[in-house]
Structure 1
Amino acid sequence: MKAKIESIGIDGDGIAIVDDQKYFIPFTAPGDEVEFEVIKGKRYSRIEITQFLKESELRQPAPCIHFGDCGGCKLQHINRETYQDYKVGLLKRALDFHQVEAKEWMPLHIIPSRRRRRISLTFAHRYEGMMIGYMRRGTKWIIDNQECHLVLEEIEQLIPKLRSLLAGMFQQRESGTVDILATKVGLDVNLKTGFLKNPTLEQIEVLTAFTRDNNIARLLLNYRPFVTFREPVVNFSGVDVAVEAGKFLQASDDADEFMLQRVSDYMPEKVTRGVDLFSGRGTFTFLMAQKGPTDAFECENDAINALQTAANQAQVPITVTKRDLFANPLTVEELGQYDFIFVDPPRAGALTQVQQVAQSTLQHVVYISCNPASFARDAKILCDAGFELESVTPLDQFLWSEHLEVIGKFYRK
């Protein structure tokens, strides 16, 4: 089939219409003319371009040699203006769908390439040797990554060293994943595999030497400390907090810095008592506590322990409580003790919690979301309850992907 790409869909694929049927064609730009075929699988079909008949003026050369094969990036091939329009459009379409208007739109902020501090790679010993990298899009095939333009240089440089290490430790068909996190004191690396349950003395010595020689602060084996030279920490608003590879953290220090500044700008000048919902390890909790006593709610045990321990050591007025805010949101009565609320939920949003906030007497809300759709849905609930979306900031911290971070300031008179 032949088609001309009309636009880019929310998932980052080009959209073409042939015989009144819509097709989502990956790695294309508006104006591209392509020949493609639909390859049907057992569970789903995929589209494969067989020929570019005409390339759009909106295209640009992709910086990475793996682009088009690697599932890590979708949008290296479009020029900057088109890319920015696409990213901002993700939020505009979501807000328009729910009929939410923002009084102020802040410019899109893009975190540059080679800034990501955490990744998860898959490895497997194949007949052709040890493969380590991201998955090919839509498959379980590993791309043997020779480069990655997303991550910090120290992480990229570790990948070939990991390939050599793993090749000597695993037999054919043995596999696993590697989580890597860059911290204040060096790399934290988590090796997840069922093929290294009882390391030999030689393997222990090899892993210890590898950890020591590659600025790895700690090596974990299936989330359990295996070799520790330094306890990995990151710094939030002047406070060191324990972290762990494979567990949630914002994608980069740059994203932390930008979001903290924007949240600080969006917060009211005076806060008697604030509450941080879905607090994680306290990325924003310590900032809030600089203005007054802060309660934090989180459901993940490791995050709770790390946050409370850091707060106690720094003597910061933070109280952390374990709570599933989806099943058991703070009630209207409980919210009555606060004059500022910060919400940073997972992709699903905070529907049940926002419904309680809407019925409360709260006036100041700052909401960060990694999903424009759930952000817009929750924003509609707040706006229907008398809040105004005073300002919104789109943040692109997942470069060349279909994802967008949103920072919103809500106020109710």
Structure 2
Amino acid sequence: MADFEALIDKVGFQGDGITAGGLIVPLTLPGERVLVHQGKERSELVEVMDASPQRVTPPCPHFSACGGCTLQHWDLDAYSAWKREVVEAQLRRGGLETEVLPGFTTPPQSRRRVGLHARKQGKHIQIGFKARRSWSLVPIEVCSISDPAIVAALPMLRQLAAPLFEHPKSAPILHVTASLTGLDIDISGVERTRTGGLSADARMQVAMTAGEADFARVTLGDDILYQARQPRVRFGKATVALPAGSFLQATPQAEAAMASLVTQAVAGAKKVADLFCGAGTFTFPLAETAVVYAADGAAPSVAALKAALASAPGLKTITPEVRDLFRRPMVAEEMKGFDAIVFDPPRAGAEAQAAEIARSTVARAVAVSCNPQTFVRDAKILVNAGFSLDRVTPIDQFLWSAHVELVGVFSR
């Protein structure tokens, strides 16, 4: 099919330009006249003929090939306004009306958690991110979103991956976290050989590279391949030892912004439940002024929270519990005496838990969500039960991507 001209009308929820007729053209902006090639599966941008005044030079040389970022070509103010509009549109679709405040946008070079894919090409090891909508790997040398400590470690991370290909189907992913005590690397995607896990020689090579690079810890599932120091992070006044592979907010700046919004929303509360608490992201800031019941289904995270209690004297009482809140949500009867409920579920949302909050007599609730669609579903449960959705604040901690998170505040 011959190339053709198109006029871009808007940017859709996935971060692609869309014409008035619904044609999706990646890497384009509203108002641009572009030359498009229509492939078998998707359209591709050939040339920007009339550029938007909001178009800027992407800061990363890997942009457009790497699938990690999709919107580096958009002026930051316009891009941030679009993220707010995405949240507003999702709320409108769900029939919810509320004030959507200006969002928080995380700065460049702040991502403390990345998943780096490793591939073996002959004798050479490549490490990087997948191309967009592809299994192909884009090797990277720099990264405009990642913590500088991670970027500086890329050569040693490439070396660390070299012994992980003993099984021909292995496709390792290095989940790298920048902690207060150094880099923590949790490895997945390594297939088991006939003799089991990694050979003694491969394990030794991993440990030697980790020691040379001064990494804090390297794990493969539950197996610790190397540990010089316990990886640690701070939540409020507490210092928490991170369990291997545990959840952590992607950037400390976004985490701080969310913690501030949560604590402000429950100001004055004497007793708060922190549901889906993880290792205490919000638990410890909340406990500076309120007694906190903290529950999560991840036993290692709750154990880390318990162990960190001694590191933060002067807090109110914290009662942690390992609890599968999908199968056994905190029920309305248990919420008697609580002034507020905070819940921060994974992408699936918290439908069963929201139904129990709706049945309760709790006056305030705060939802932290990484998925606006499931947030809308859960919010409607609360609103239909008499809660008011007072305000929503968009949180952009995955800079230059189409992903957006939010904090919603409810009251009766």
Relative to the length of structure 1, the TM-score reads 0.90
- Aligned partner of 1:144 among 121, 139, 152: 139
After TM superposition, what 4+ stretches of structure 1 lie above 4 angstroms from structure 2? Answer: 167-174, 312-316
Q: What is residue 369 of structure 2 aligned with on the other side?
A: 369
Q: What is residue 207 of structure 2 aligned with on the other side?
A: 208
Q: Is the 8 A contact 1:268 1:364 kept in 2?
A: no
- Residue 87 of structure 1: CA displacement? 0.6
Q: Is the 8 A contact 1:281 1:303 kept in 2?
A: yes
Amino acid at match of 2:207: T
Which secondary structure does the structure 2 equivalent of 1:11 belong to? coil
Instruction: Quickly say closer, same or farther: Cα 1:361–1:173, change in 2 above 3 A.
Output: closer
Q: Is the 8 A contact 1:181 1:244 kept in 2?
A: no
2: distance between equivalents of 1:303 and 1:101? 36
Amino acid at match of 1:194: E
Q: Structure 1 stretch 106-115 or stretch 149-158: which is displaced more?
A: 106-115
Work out whether 1:194 is the aligned partner of 2:194.
Answer: no
Amino acid at match of 2:318: I
1: distance between equivalents of 2:321 and 2:390? 30
Q: Is the 8 A contact 1:125 1:174 kept in 2?
A: no
Q: What is residue 285 of structure 2 aligned with on the other side?
A: 287
Amino acid at match of 1:276: D
Aligned residue-pair number: 402
Q: Structure 1 stretch 395-404 or stretch 191-200: which is displaced more?
A: 191-200
Q: What is residue 60 of structure 2 aligned with on the other side?
A: 64
1: distance between equivalents of 2:245 and 2:405? 20
Q: What is residue 108 of structure 1 aligned with on the other side?
A: 103
**Tell me, which stretches of 5 or more residues in structure 1 are unaligned?**
none
Instruction: Quickly say closer, same or farther: Cα 1:169–1:329, change in 2 above 3 A.
Output: closer
1: distance between equivalents of 2:198 and 2:212? 23
Instruction: Quickly say closer, same or farther: Cα 1:285–1:170, change in 2 above 3 A.
Output: same
Q: What is residue 265 of structure 2 aligned with on the other side?
A: 266
- Aligned partner of 2:296 among 292, 295, 298: 298
- Aligned partner of 1:74 among 70, 76, 88: 70
**Could you report, residue by residue, the CA deviation over 1:307-365 in whole angstroms, capped at 9, with x for unpaired residues?**
22223665762222232222332222122232211011112222221122122111011
Relative to the length of structure 2, the TM-score reads 0.91
Amino acid at match of 2:291: P
Q: What is residue 29 of structure 2 aligned with on the other side?
A: 29
- Residue 205 of structure 1: CA displacement? 4.6
1: distance between equivalents of 2:177 and 2:49? 42
Q: Structure 1 stretch 166-175 or stretch 152-161: which is displaced more?
A: 166-175
Amino acid at match of 2:370: C
**Could you report, residue by residue, the CA deviation over 1:149-188 in whole angstroms, capped at 9, with x for unpaired residues?**
1111010111122224434775787531111101111111
2: distance between equivalents of 1:321 and 1:164? 40
1: distance between equivalents of 2:15 and 2:72? 11
Q: Is the 8 A contact 2:163 2:206 kept in 1?
A: no
Which secondary structure does the structure 1 equivalent of 2:216 belong to? strand
RMSD: 2.2
**Tell me, which stretches of 5 or more residues in structure 2 are unaligned?**
none
2: distance between equivalents of 1:72 and 1:161? 21
Instruction: Quickly say closer, same or farther: Cα 1:395–1:205, change in 2 above 3 A.
Output: same
1: distance between equivalents of 2:187 and 2:358? 44
Q: Structure 1 stretch 29-38 or stretch 313-322: which is displaced more?
A: 313-322
Q: Work out the percentage of aligned pairs sharing the same amino acid.
A: 35
**Could you report, residue by residue, the CA deviation over 1:131-150 in whole angstroms, capped at 9, with x for unpaired residues?**
11000111111100111111
1: distance between equivalents of 2:355 and 2:301? 25
Amino acid at match of 1:4: L
2: distance between equivalents of 1:50 and 1:179? 34
Q: What is residue 14 of structure 1 aligned with on the other side?
A: 17
2: distance between equivalents of 1:399 and 1:357? 32
Q: Is the 8 A contact 2:342 2:365 kept in 1?
A: yes
Q: How is 1:352-367 mapped onto 2 (pairs within 5 angstroms)? A: 352-367=352-367
Work out whether 1:231 is the aligned partner of 2:214.
Answer: no
Q: Is the 8 A contact 1:124 1:173 kept in 2?
A: no
- Residue 195 of structure 1: CA displacement? 6.7
Amino acid at match of 1:76: Q
2: distance between equivalents of 1:150 and 1:223? 29
2: distance between equivalents of 1:145 and 1:135? 10
Q: How is 1:276-355 mapped onto 2 (pairs within 5 angstroms)? A: 276-311=274-309, 314=312, 317-355=317-355
Which secondary structure does the structure 1 equivalent of 2:260 belong to? helix
Q: What is residue 243 of structure 1 aligned with on the other side?
A: 242
Q: Is the 8 A contact 2:88 2:100 kept in 1?
A: no
Work out whether 1:2 is the aligned partner of 2:5.
Answer: yes
2: distance between equivalents of 1:49 and 1:404? 25
1: distance between equivalents of 2:198 and 2:359? 55
Q: What is residue 85 of structure 2 aligned with on the other side?
A: 89
Which secondary structure does the structure 2 equivalent of 1:75 belong to? coil
**Could you report, residue by residue, the CA deviation over 1:358-395 in whole angstroms, capped at 9, with x for unpaired residues?**
22111011111112222233223322322222232212
